[in-house]
A and B are shown apart, each in its own frame.
Chain A
């Protein structure tokens, strides 16, 4: 197994696995971490998985690991790499099963103390209005071509149907609509899995959280985003549900059949890849875009349910409870983007698995009101601890293909968490600290215990200090809703 001695320290927070480390590497691999986070990452197969991504044909510059790096399958979680669209590959397994898993933050104008007396009721209402858990249907009935329409048009569909407000869309990555999405590239099986899942949270590490802002680090950016201390905000963490899982499954299987024809040799079959420009590669691009649109629409419908829950509970009791959209980001996605590679502007496909796009100020893809501060980056921490809002920087553009971390990153296996943590006790501890918990599964709760994760504050500190993101605000939980 790789050890610290195999790494070159390029700067305080950047460590490099040289290309010579393994014969099949086509580029070096770089890890953004402090020494402790690096030690964590070296304990499992994360770094080996990172090195595997550096073998993919057409990779440019270097493969990247964020400070929240941990072991996944295929590409590690917290992994970023870019392949040339001209002669590089696309890998469905390096995007992951939950295509466009992501985070949305909504903000009220209310102070935390104002909603405190209504918090229990609010948590219960959110749990009731936002379907969660295993095998639970959504509240939106889809007819005829509705599903194809959602897959092709994402948030635009939700706007037409009254689930979105016009101003939500510019504050969504890609305006909530991937332009190259193609519903025809999504199998009937995937559509069958997704048909009744629009506006559902799912299970696992997905959640809705009511938070209060406990620190502002960047007053200017906070003002632009409408954030202030002690403000009540809401986070949504979920993705494309069964539809996205099936799209990934379908294309991992389809690519297994063609990988030999393209003479692509891989160290891990889960990384299976096809040339971006090939018919198979383009089919996956269309299907992935469609699954991503489903995820944008899913989080939008959940935002609609959250807004009506706030109205249901708080109307007549508190003023200014209405929620505006701060931003919505994807953290499992591959995107066609232009980046500087060895002094030249180049079109690349940036794979981000458990990593967030973090475009710096003046990026042409940002709406005018966000141009000065850069793209908001939403970082949920482990349950019951804290989360962060950051902004992208010029540093992330130069160093990490405009990418940043996505969360805390696991250190314990779910198996260990389940053995060592009791869900009832964890819930009682959170309740004692004034956090309302509504969870469908107590063993599911135990797996997400904060002890099972890295310290998100430390992860974000490294991101900030290394210049690949800038801290704007810290969030702490008031109520947690989970499947």
Chain B
């Protein structure tokens, strides 16, 4: 299974992430975010604990990805591996591994709710996300 695919969007970027379960889906969505930024090559040298809440599954996905962008910008870090340790309908906890910022080719400003979808397919999960660049 591919972890994600890039989708066409006129002004911004969009991607579809895949996962065997919701945890993997959320992890792969985070992977897609940093893959699109071209920020995955670095050796992991640091660890960060992430905790976010949201009113529902979709809000949780937006807030999870947004929190990673917040740390990326303020701490000048990028992340390569994502391990979600707790996931309910409204709360998420994760440990992520990354490095001090390597040169990034692109920068994502924000994660939007536009066309946001989390869907259960026959044997897997898919999420469609549009980001502002």
Q: Interface residues, chain A, CB within 8 Å of chain B? A: 44, 46, 70-74, 77, 93, 96-98, 134-135, 189, 192-193, 202-204, 242, 245-246, 248-249, 252-253, 256-257, 268-270, 272, 410-416, 441, 443-444
Contacts of B10 in A (CB 8 A): 44, 46, 70-71, 410-413
Given known A-B contacts A189-B70, A192-B74, A411-B10, A97 and B55 have beta carbons under 8 A apart: no
Interface residue SS majority, chain B:
loop
**Could you tell me the distance in whole angstroms from the C-beta of B22 to the nearest C-beta in chain A?**
19
| Chain A residues closer than 8 Å to B101, beta-carbon distance | 134-135
Instruction: Report the bound CA distance from A415 to B38 in whole Å.
Output: 14
B41 vs chain A, min Cβ distance (A): 15
Is there an interface contact between A71 and B9, defined as CB atoms closer than 8 Å?
yes
Select B114's contact among A245, A249, A270, A414, beta carbons within 8 Å.
A270
Q: Which of A44, A98, A134, A415 has the most CB of B within 10 A?
A: A134
Query: How many B residues are at the interface, by size bracket?
Result: 35 or more
A415 → chain B, closest Cβ, in Å?
A: 5
- Residue among A44, A257, A414 with max Cβ neighbours from chain B (10 Å): A414
Cα of A437 to Cα of B110 in the assembled complex, Å: 28
Q: Nearest Cβ distance between residue B65 and chain A, in whole angstroms?
A: 10
Stretch of B26-34, B56-64, B91-99, B119-127 at the chain-chain interface: B56-64
Determine if A253 and B110 form an interchain contact, defined as CB atoms under 8 angstroms apart: no
Number of A-B contacts (CB under 8 A): 109
Q: Which of B76, B106, B114 contacts A444 (CB 8 A)?
A: B106
Given contacts A97-B110, A98-B109, A135-B104, 5 further A-B contacts (CB under 8 A): A74-B114, A245-B110, A252-B112, A270-B112, A272-B113
Interface residue from B12, B58, B106, B114 paired with A443 (Cβ < 8 Å): B106
Known contacts being A73-B112, A253-B63, A412-B10, is A203 close to B132, with CB within 8 Å? no
How far is A444 from B115 in the complex, measured between Cα atoms in Å? 25
Q: Which parts of B1-53 form the interface with A (CB within 8 Å)?
A: 6-13, 38
A73-B12, A253-B62, A441-B105 as given contacts; A204 in contact with B114, CB under 8 Å: no
- Please name 26 pairs of A and B residues whose Cβ atoms are closer than 8 Å in the assembled complex, sorted by A: A46-B10, A71-B9, A73-B12, A73-B130, A74-B112, A93-B113, A97-B109, A98-B109, A134-B104, A193-B74, A203-B106, A203-B107, A204-B107, A204-B133, A256-B54, A256-B59, A268-B114, A269-B58, A269-B114, A269-B116, A270-B113, A412-B10, A414-B11, A414-B12, A415-B9, A415-B13
Interface centre among B70, B104, B110, by most chain A C-beta atoms within 10 angstroms, is B110
**What A residues does B6 contact at CB under 8 A?**
415
Residues of B within 8 A of A414 (CB): 9, 11-13, 133
In the bound complex, how far is the Cα of B7 from the Cα of A203, in angstroms?
Answer: 21
- Please tell me if B66 contacts chain A, counting CB pairs below 8 Å: yes
Are B11 and A410 touching (Cβ within 8 A)?
Answer: yes
CA distance A443 to B13 in the complex (A): 14
Are B114 and A193 in contact, CB atoms less than 8 angstroms apart? no
